[in-house]
Every structure is written in C-alpha cells, then in structure tokens.
Amino acid sequence: MDGFSEYIVYVDDSGDHGLKKIDPNYPMFVLAFCIFRKEDYLQFVGLIARPVGMHLLKSE
C-alpha cells in the first residue's frame, strides 16, 4: 500500500463542538473514534455485509 496507511479511522462526535450553545440536558461534547486494520475490516465487513445484503435483496 504505497502512500497509504494500512488503517481505516472512523470519527464521530456528539454535542455542540463550539460549546457556544450548551444544552443543560446534555452539557457535554463527546468525540469517539475507531481504528481498524484494512485487512481485518474487509474480512469483518465481508462476513457481516454479505448476509445482510442478501436479506435486503430478497425483501425487494
């Protein structure tokens, strides 16, 4: 993989990232991320996505 990492990174946030309008019911900002090796990710998605995709195709 010349020029590219062997990892995939997913990042997600919740809350107001500017912290200018703080909701008293949710007064926080959360940042979460996951790091996967591309090889492991492809194997996992292949195991999960194939049956799910087949189920979706059958329901149409």
Q: What is the pLDDT of residues 4-59, one digit of tens each?
A: 899 989 999 988 777 677 778 878 888 999 999 988 888 887 777 666 655 555 65
Angle, alpha carbons 47-48-54 (nearest 5°): 100
Instruction: Please give the C-alpha separations between residue 36 and each of 6, 11, 16, 41, in angstroms, as whole numbers.
Output: 9, 12, 27, 6
Q: Is 15 left (phi over 0), alpha (psi -120 to 50) or beta?
A: left
Predicted local distance difference test score (pLDDT) of residue 28? 83
Predicted local distance difference test score (pLDDT) of residue 50? 66
Predicted local distance difference test score (pLDDT) of residue 9? 92
Residue ranges per domain, the chain? Answer: 7-59
The model's pTM is 0.55
